[in-house]
Amino acid sequence: MPLTKLQFRPGIDREATSYADEGGWFDMDKVRFRLGFPEKIGGWTRQGTASFLGTCRGIHPWITLSGDQLLGVGTNLKYYVNEGGGYNDVTPVRLTTAAGDVTFSASANTLASDVAVDDTTISLTSSTGFPVTGRIKIDSEIITYSSVSGNDLIGCERGQSGTTAATHTATTAVLCSTIIVDDAGHGALDNDFVTFSGAVTLGDQITADRLNQEYQIIYISSTDQYYIDARTVSTIPSITTTSGLDEEYVFATATDSGNGGASVVGAYQINTGLDTSIIGTGWGAGTWGRGTWGSSASTTTSGESLRLWSHDNFGEDLLFNPRGGGIYYLDTSSGLSNRAVSLSDLAGADTTPTIANTVMVSDNSRHVLAFGCDGEFSPGVQDPLLIRFSSQESLTDWSAQIDNSAGDLRIGTGSEIVTAIETRQQILVFTDVSLHSLQFLGPPFTFGINMLSDNIAIASPNALASAQDTVYWMGKSEFYAYSGSVQRLPCTVRDYVFNDFNEFQSEKVFATTVTAFSEVWWFYPSASSDEANRYVVYNYEQNIWYYGTMSRTAAVDRGTQRNPIFASSDHYLYYHEDGFDDGSVLPAVGIAAYIESAQMSIQSGDSFAFISRVIPDLTFRNSTSSTPVADFTIKARNFPGGAYLQSNDLSVSKTASVPVEQFTEQLYMRVRGRSFAFRIDSTETGVSWRLGIPRVDIRQDGRR
């Protein structure tokens, strides 16, 4: 009997059952299609050795006039400019106090032993030093306790190595000396950052050099008071990366007293944001501790929304905006050791927006645009449907006058502007229910706006990407494209994606292009995850869909950088499509990639068939392993709902002595059933594979 070709349709189809999708692919992970054939995706390597603080939600690449390649990196805690893998903290300062407005106090700690932790109980053992009720931070978790006695101390966030403390382990937490900071109207939130200067020593352990550095606030007790953990002198000027949090923490002694002197100055960075979406209002809606004890929380309260960023370039300089916050400017010509400043603080600033949801610089007209911002005559009062634009070629001139081109427009549908993206001809503006076109008209109107579609939605401010002048986005339960008209994209994995989707964390959805393979990727959180842990891909050249699992929080396609760059929740950036392995650990490990076909049968599936031989058409081209290997598996079953009768996994290998283009000639096996599925797996390092058109020796055995 002649060999049968195993030629399947490209893409994944999960809208029907495996049995109904005969001739197609049904399941996969970390595999893409190129020219209709499946291949393992590329690997990823770390971009530098430094890690950032917080969860990255935005990456923006650009090149300065001097040729420096820079990356803007926005997290829920900081905003950085990455240069050559190193991070420069350019987070703006929102408030600098007058000398003497800040005072300190510290209490001696007489901790006798660790805080013992087991599955159900935290035991505090100390002669003195603990309040009747209080809170302890263990890693990122905050725990309340009661029925102990002593002074008012707050638990440290990290393990200590001070004179009476032991190193933190998975089952041990320890306490350290907490400095109480008094500053009327500080406006800070839990986890905010503040840098002190001008302080004098408190005594033996809490010395001036230990006070005059950057601290992260661990707890806000009132509008006039908060707590920080005393620590040794940092080896770097600011807590720029996670290495800045590794300093040893210290304990006050009886000699530590005083208030730091009359010259203490506190420089507060802009409020940090949340790294998760909070749904609802009232008690328990916000993260624990963001605000005073017993206060309610709301997603509309400042600091209670997921921290997302928009950013763009004005020449070689950078504009960036935390969603629902201010607009900030970084002059790169003055060096990256300086912090960004508020747009309203620039010389000549005239009625600049002080709050916005999105900021953009028009490439066509050179206007700065603010979406969902405050009005010219109502500073500080956000209008979520208002669009304002500066005068042409100006950062600072926002007052609408007869002799400039500044002005504003207001969208009449929806409740807020969600996001905007620029194409070659126009700027597309998304509200929560509609899509609009913003176009440059020139004087006297400058810009005009038209509705393109209503009754549509977008999953998040970052759920869109542009490729070949077409904008693609994920909606609430559909995928869309705009290239002159709005079209719903037929999607063969729609139910698979949206039936296992955490709608409460939909703000974390983000999209990116990988133009080298004509792909648009969306990362989204599955129903069981609070972070984006899955991806779905639309290949616009082949008009097919595929998917996989991967935890990422932001991404940008290659352009100024050599490869696409993705951010991970482990606080590192990664070059993707770089090698063939998972470089998140050292040494790198193999990527578990597989693809499995839908079931195929003989005739109408009413006869049994017997497979005895397979001729695999599998190439290991470009593999760096000297012995790349993949597993070829055939699974048979007799009925659509029955269990698979799996064959032995048969290795398809190539040795170093055999040319790359040579493959294993044939595989022998004995598999019998009414229908069959075929699967390719690989887990080894240095392996790159691509499947062609295998052949099988399949015979009908005559029985039904």
Same domain for 486 and 565, yes or no, is yes
Q: Which residues contact 251 (CB under 8 A, 6 or more apart)?
A: 108, 109, 111, 162, 163, 164, 165, 176, 177, 205, 230
**Does 85 fall in a domain?**
no
Same domain for 263 and 317, yes or no, is no
pLDDT of residue 157 exceeding 60 = no
pLDDT of residue 54 exceeding 50 = yes
Q: pLDDT: is 533 or 174 the higher one?
A: 533
**Does 630 fall in a domain?**
yes
Six-digit token string for 633: 């598996």
Same domain for 375 and 259, yes or no, is no
CA distance 495 to 208: 60
Phi, psi of 191, rounded to the nearest 5 degrees: 80, 0
CATH number at 494 reads 2.120.10
Same domain for 37 and 51, yes or no, is no
**Does 290 fall in a domain?**
no
Pick the most confident of 126-135, 345-354, 609-618, 634-643. Answer: 345-354
- Which of 207-221, 403-417, 461-475, 538-552 has the least mean pLDDT? 207-221
Determine the residue type at 115.
V
pLDDT in tens, 509-535: 999 999 999 999 999 999 999 999 999
Show the domain range for 21.
4-41+592-700
Q: pLDDT tier at 425 (50, 70, 90 boundaries)? A: confident
Same domain for 695 and 569, yes or no, is no
pTM for the model: 0.87
pLDDT, average across residues 590-617: 81
Q: pLDDT: is 45 or 672 the higher one?
A: 45
Same domain for 634 and 490, yes or no, is no
pLDDT, average across residues 7-22: 89
Q: pLDDT: is 35 or 290 the higher one?
A: 35
**Does 277 fall in a domain?**
no
pLDDT of residue 365 exceeding 50 = yes
pLDDT of residue 283 exceeding 60 = no
pLDDT of residue 151: 35
Same domain for 323 and 390, yes or no, is yes
Show which of 521, 554, 581 is a domain's final residue.
581
**Does 447 fall in a domain?**
no
What burial letters (b/e) apply to 21-45, b meaning 16+ CB within 10 Å?
Answer: bbebbbbbbbbbbeeebbbbbbbbe
pLDDT, average across residues 486-495: 96
Same domain for 325 and 375, yes or no, is yes
Same domain for 332 and 475, yes or no, is yes
pLDDT, average across residues 123-148: 45
Same domain for 490 and 354, yes or no, is yes
Same domain for 519 and 646, yes or no, is no
pLDDT of residue 204: 84
Q: What is the mean pLDDT of the chain?
A: 83
pLDDT of residue 58 exceeding 80 = yes
pLDDT, average across residues 548-564: 95
**Does 445 fall in a domain?**
no
Q: pLDDT: is 537 or 126 the higher one?
A: 537
pLDDT of residue 162 exceeding 60 = no
Show which of 548, 581, 614 is a domain's final residue.
581
pLDDT, average across residues 416-433: 96
Q: pLDDT tier at 400 (50, 70, 90 boundaries)? A: very high
CATH number at 14 reads 2.60.120
**Does 337 fall in a domain?**
yes
Same domain for 606 and 494, yes or no, is no
**Does 299 fall in a domain?**
no
CA distance 633 to 648: 7
Q: pLDDT tier at 241 (50, 70, 90 boundaries)? A: confident
pLDDT, average across residues 209-220: 91
Domain count within the chain: 3
